[in-house]
Structure 1
Amino acid sequence: MDITIYHNPACGTSRNALGLIRAAGIEPQVVEYLKTPPTRETIAALAEQCGVPLRALLREKGTPYAELGLSDESLTDAQLLDAIEAHPILLNRPIVVSPLGARLCRPSETVLDLLPQGDASAGSE
């Protein structure tokens, strides 16, 4: 199964989600998004695939979210993408894409919904 995880190895939730994928016998494509930030187009596509507004993929804690005034609801998606492009840490994690869908996997167990049913039980042991 082809799975991609937008991962931050310093994040416990992201490490747990990656561990659940691997426990299901799947080696995902791991994108360390702080080292290799996704393009604006990819970020916008991820939000669309997840079925959420772009704003829902923003991380507040431990980021320049407040100092950049990103709580301002009048900001456009283009402005939010500008901020994420300048500060990739603003992208929340982990985001997982599989043939079964895409999701921001917080809590990490949410990733089980994106794994084949037979493998999901192996990941929850």
Structure 2
Amino acid sequence: MIEAAGYAPTIVEYRKTGWTRDKLGDLLAAMDAKPRDVLREKGTPAAELGLLDPSVPDEAILEAMVEHPILVNRPIVVTPKGTKLCRPSEAVLDLLDRQPDQFTKEDGEVVRL
């Protein structure tokens, strides 16, 4: 959707490269979010690690996210207009100065703009 709007994004393959604690902390601060706000549950070891219990402290979740990058939900988009977890993908539109004329998601869903 970002490319369809005419932007050339820089994509960080964090599942391959991992996170630094500082980078992840900076992104969370920019979003005014807590680690639990971006914790990915499906298809991850979140339950096995006991991270779904509400009593687990933010610091423990953050440490687990650094150790297991897949625990971070995606995509997190950073633009001059802000930083945001863009799920659903249409949420990215709030961060763009221009929007695509039309967009069809990978699953065939047409996004009306």
TM class by shorter chain equals 0.7 to 0.9
SS at match of 2:33: coil
Partner of 2:96: 115
- 1:35 pairs with 16, 21, 28, which one? 16
Q: CA deviation at 1:66?
A: 0.5
**Structure 2 runs not aligned, ≥5 long:** 104-112
**Structure 1 runs not aligned, ≥5 long:** 1-19
Return the structure number with greater relative CO, CA threshold 8 A, min gap 6: 1
Q: TM-score, normalised by structure 2?
A: 0.84
Deviations 1:8-63 (A, max 9, x none): xxxxxxxxxxxx10011110110011111121111111111112222101000000
2:21–2:66 CA contact under 8 A, matched in 1:
yes
SS at match of 1:103: strand
> Which structure has the bigger radius of gyration?
2
32 and 45 in structure 1: CA distance in 2 versus 1, 3 angstrom threshold: same
Aligned identity (percent) is 52
Total equivalences in the alignment: 104
Give the RMSD, CA atoms, in angstroms.
1.5
